[in-house]
Amino acid sequence: MTISQAHVLPHEQALIRFDWDTAQNRLKSALGEATYKSWLSQLEFHDVVSGVLILRAPTRFVKDWVLTNCQAVLEQTFRALDPSIFKVDVIVSAEIKKMPSTLHVVEAAEPAEMPLPSVGVREYESEWKEGDRDFVGSALDPRFTFENFVVGKPNELAYAAARRVAESDEVTFNPLFLYGGVGLGKTHLMHAIAWHIKRMRPNRKVIYLSAEKFMYQFIRALRFKDTVAFKEQFRSVDVLMIDDVQFISGKDSTQEEFFHTFNALVDQNRQIIVSADKSPSDLEGMEERMKSRLGWGLVADVHPTTYELRLGILQAKAEKMASAVPQQVIEFLAHKITSNVRELEGALTRIVAYATLVGRSITVEMTQEALRDLLRANDRQVTIDHIQKKVAEHFNVRIADMHSSRRLRNVARPRQVAMFLVKNLTTHSLPEIGRKFGGRDHTTVMHAVKKVEELMVEDATFREDIELLKRMLQS
Ligand code: ADP
Ligand code: MG
C-alpha cells in the first residue's frame, strides 16, 4: 500500500472494501503531509486477515515507528471505511518467510470452516491472536501497560480502581465502569489490566473486546445459528472487558444478549470491566435495567487532562522518541494542545517526524511551524468556512457545492453533514447556518441535522466517518 495506488495489485485491492485513494487522503489530513511522506509512504498493503489489515514496512525501524506513532490513526481511518477492520498491524518485508497468498480469512468467513492458517500467517497470528483461532477478543496493545500510564489528578481514581481489579484475587466491585471523553486513557487502562492479569495469573481467561466487536460476533453467531457457542465463549471467562459500551446503545438485541452475559458472569462471581464515554445513567438508548446494572459496582471517571498531567505524559513519551525534545517544547505543547492525550501524542509525533524530515533540531519555532494548523485549531473556535472546506475535502466534492442548489445525493449528503457539524461545533443559529449554505431556509438546516442524526444511528460506518471528521475539526 503505498499508500500509492500503483502498489496495490488487483488481487490485493479485491481484499479491501473501500477506496484506497480516500484512505490515503484521510491519512494525509489526519497525520499531516510530513508524517505521511516520511513514514507512511514507505508502507505497502500486505493482507487482510480476520479483520486485521496488515501493512508491510521496509525495515523494523519504520515498523516500530509507525506502530508507536500512527497505529491509532490508521485503525480509526480504516475502520471508518470498513468496520470489519478492527486492527492494523505492520510486518517487516524482509522477515516474511513464505506468506501464503491464498489465505484471506476475513472476519465474516464461516466460523466453522475457517481454513487452517499456513505457516507464515499462523506465526503472525500468534502475535495477536493468542495462537488460538477461536479467540474472540481483540488484540491488546503492548504499549498500553500500567508502567506506561502516567497518573495525575484527572485519572488517579480510574487508575487506582484498575490496579485494584488487576491485582486482587477476589472480585471486589463488579463491574468496574470507566468513563470519560475521547482519548483520555480508558482503553489504555483496560489493556493494562489485561496485561497484568496475563502476566501474574496466566491461567485466568481474560477477554477484551470492543462493544462493537461484541455486537459483530453476536450478529455473526445469529447468522450462523451458532448462538450456543457464542454464549459459551463469553460465559466461560474469568474476566470480561467490553470497551466503548455506548456503542450498543439503541441496539436492542445486542443489549439484551450483553445483559444476559453480564448477569451470568456476575452470578458466577467473574469480573466485568466496562468503559463508555458517559456515566451509566447518562447512556442514552440504554435500557433502564442495563443502566442500573452497570452502575452497581465502582464507577470511576477519567477527567480531561490538566497542564501537569499533559506535561508528565509528554515527558514520558518524549523519552522514548528518536530525537531529543527540549523542555521548552514540551511545555509549549502542554500549554497549547489541551484537547486530549491522543492529540498530544499526535503533536509530538508530528514534530519529531518533521525534524527528521527537514533535518533540523526541535525548537519552539519549529514546533509552531510544524503544527501551525493544529495550534490554530486549538486556539480558536472552528468556523463555518473551515467546516465546509474540510467536509468538501473529505467527501471529495467542491466547496462551491456547499452553497449550490444541486440536489444530487453525492453533493447533498456532504452538505447535510457540514450543516450538522456546524450546528454541533459552533454557536451559529439555524437561520445563520442556512444563509451560509447558499441562502437556505432554517427548516432545511433542521432537516439536515435530523437526517444526519438518523443516519448515524442506523449506519455505524457513517457514524464513524462523522466522528472522525468531528475529531479532525476539533483537533
Ligand atoms: P480512550 O480509550 O479513553 O479514548 P486511549 O486509552 O485510547 O483513550 O488513549 C489515547 C492515547 O493516549 C493512547 O495512545 C494512550 O496510550 C494515551 N494515553 C492516555 N492517557 C494516558 C496516560 N495517562 N499516560 C500515558 N498515555 C496515555
Ligand atoms: Mg478507547
pLDDT tier at 378 (50, 70, 90 boundaries)?
Answer: low
Question: How does pLDDT run across 20-31, given as a tens digit for each residue?
Answer: 777 888 888 888
Atom of ligand 1 nearest to the CA of 309: 23
Q: Residues near 89 by Cβ (< 8 Å), separated by ≥ 6?
A: 52, 53, 54, 55, 67, 124, 127, 128, 139
pLDDT tier, 244 (very low <50, low <70, confident <90, very high otherwise): very high
pLDDT at 95 over 70: no
Of residues 375 and 6, which shows the higher confidence score? Answer: 375
∠ CA 418-423-425 to the nearest 5 degrees?
90
Q: What is the pLDDT of residues 319-366, one digit of tens each?
A: 988 788 999 999 999 988 888 899 899 999 999 988 888 888 999 999
Neighbours of ion ligand 2 (CB under 5 A): 186-187
Question: Of 140 and 117, which is predicted with more confidence?
Answer: 140
The CA distance from 70 to 65, in Å, is: 8
Separation CA 294–CA 97 (nearest Å): 47
Give residue 439 CA to ligand 1 midpoint distance, Å: 43
Taking the alpha carbons at both ends of the chain, their separation in whole angstroms is: 26
pLDDT at residue 473, rounded to an integer:
82
**Minimal-distance CA residue to ligand 1 atom 14:** 342
Closest residue by CA, ligand 1 atom 11: 342
What residue ranges line ligand 1, CB within 6 angstroms?
72, 144, 148-150, 155, 182-188, 313, 341-342, 345
Mean pLDDT of the chain: 83
Mutating to test ligand 1, I would choose from 73, 76, 188 the residue with most ligand atoms within 8 A of its C-beta, which is 188
Q: What is the model's pLDDT at position 313?
A: 97
Percent of the chain with pLDDT over 90: 52
State how far the Cα of 356 lies from the Cα of 150, in Å rounded to an integer: 27
Instruction: Report CA dihedral (128, 134, 137, 143) to the nearest 10 degrees.
Output: -10
Read off the pLDDT of each residue in 227-256 and give the average, rounded to a whole number: 92
| Mutate which of 144, 341, 468 for ligand 1 pocket (most atoms within 8 A of beta carbon) | 341
11 pLDDT higher than 50? no
pLDDT at 147: 96
**Using CA atoms, how far apart are residues 399 and 390, in angstroms rounded to an integer?**
9
| CB 468 within 8 Å of CB 461 | no
Ligand minimally distant from the alpha carbon of residue 211: 2
Q: Which atom of ligand 1 is nearest to the CA of 344?
A: 12
Neighbours of 134 (CB within 10 A): 10
Q: Which amino acid is at 147?
A: E
With bands split at pLDDT 50, 70 and 90, how would you rate the model's confidence at 114? very low
- Of the pLDDT bands very low, low, confident and very high (cuts 50, 70, 90), residue 89 is confident
**Per-residue pLDDT for 14 more than 60?**
no
- Tell me: pLDDT of 318 over 90: yes
More confident residue, 410 or 426: 410
pLDDT at position 267 over 60: yes
Average pLDDT over residues 121-143: 53
Beta-strand relationship, 298-302 and 44-49: unpaired
Q: Does residue 406 surpass a pLDDT of 60?
A: yes
- Owner of C-alpha cell 473486546: 209
135 conformational bin, left if phi > 0, alpha if psi -120 to 50, beta if neither:
beta
3-state secondary structure of 357: helix
Task: List the helix and strand counts (H, then E) for the chain.
Answer: 21, 8
Q: What global pTM score does this model have?
A: 0.58
Instruction: Please report the pLDDT score of residue 261 as a whole number.
Output: 93
- 50 confidence band (pLDDT: 50, 70, 90): low
Give residue 21's pLDDT.
77
| Mean pLDDT of the 311-325 span | 92
- Ligand 1 nearest-atom number relative to CA 188: 6
- List, as one string, the DSSP characters of 75-132: HHHHHHH-TT--EEEEEEGGG-----SS----TTS-STTPPPP-HHHHHHHHHHSTT-
Q: In this predicted structure, what is the pLDDT of residue 133?
A: 39
Give the Cα separation of 232 and 213 in Å (integer). Answer: 16
The pLDDT tens digits of the residues spanning 177-191 come to 999 999 999 999 999
User: For residue 103, what pLDDT is reported?
Assistant: 29
**Is the predicted pLDDT of residue 111 greater than 70, yes or no?**
no
Separation of CA 183 and ligand 2 centre (Å):
7
